[in-house]
Amino acid sequence: MKRVTLYLIVTALLLILCSMAWVRINLLKPALVVLPPHIRNIAIVDRSIQVETSESKMEEVLTGELFKQDEQAVRQTIEGTIDVCSEFNLYQMIRTSERLKGGGTKSTFPVPIDWNEVSRLCEKHNAEALLSVEIFDSDFIISNPVSIARQVLEGKALTGAGFHVSAVALINYGVRLYDPAGKIILDEYHVTHRLNYEGSGATPQDAMNHLLNKIEAVNRTSYAAGRIYGERISPSYYVVTRYFYSKPRRIDDFWMGVRRSEVADWNGAIESWMKVLNARRRIAGRAAFNIAVAYEVLGDLEKAKEWAARSYTDFREKRGNDYYNDLVYRIREEAEIRRQVPEMH
């Protein structure tokens, strides 16, 4: 019985997806942490150096850490943060060569930096705040190669036995953001970020050769972790996919709207879908829903919200209610973005 129910659910979802088209929209996400207005320059330091012990030396040997591997990776996290913040330039991020011993562990924060030292570092680099990387550890875990019946090499499907290997790069990363003027820690953030990597080949060694090497994998994952933090303190772009109806094709005006959307003529698409609103309820509801999507693509969120609401209330289009709530959230985000970036008014 459960198997039959699952089959029916999957079948229904496939039928729904077959009747949908989609469009990607670039959106702006506001910063989660809004810094005080007096902060315009932020100096960045690496305080993740561990105090050497016999245990830490043994760990480096057991995990195969290469010389200055984590130092390189920390620099990549810093680059990731700088790249995100440079998109709006709300703050000038200042790279420094400062490397400090933290006294914490690879998974816990050390005691905060003394405020006199924070002030000294900020004055030295002409900054109003200090961003300190205080936790950093990397790992690269590779699975044993697995035999596969069919392999794909460089985009080509090959018959015969082969091998597949997977790996995960793990970054344990923590930062603090200090404001010496108010003597407060504006933000303390700790995350474990991971990215998966894969390789295939005719032999186990072949598969390993197609796997990204450890240093590159750790550096890429570190950069991604740094970008995640940058998105915490600066507005950033993200992409959403909006689905809308592409059927029924037998109704000329409905199908004309879909075709116009395919060439980015969204005003023309709206004009076509408007002509379908007198059709039977189910089709009219789809047309109203599509009109809402078209207005969002055009940047008119109030109109999009109005038509999402109409698709739900006037025509009982179920997706209209969820879409309406998505648009309400988007409008709030847009208002916060305008507050954080006044020149976008």
| pLDDT value of residue 207 | 85
Q: Residue ranges of the domains in the chain? A: 41-138+172-195+211-237, 242-330
Report residues of the chain scoring pLDDT below 50: 1-2, 4-15, 54, 58-64, 66, 151
What top-level class would CATH report for the domain 41-138+172-195+211-237?
Answer: alpha beta
Q: Say yes or no: do domains 41-138+172-195+211-237 and 242-330 share a fold.
A: no
* 252-302: pLDDT as tens digits: 999 999 999 999 999 999 999 999 999 999 999 999 999 999 999 999 999
Topology of domain 242-330, CATH: 1.25.40
Short-list 125, 159, 154, CA closest to 45: 125
| pLDDT value of residue 114 | 97
End-to-end CA distance of the chain: 57
Give the Å distances, CA to CA, from 225 to 74, 174, 254: 10, 10, 44
pTM for the whole structure: 0.82
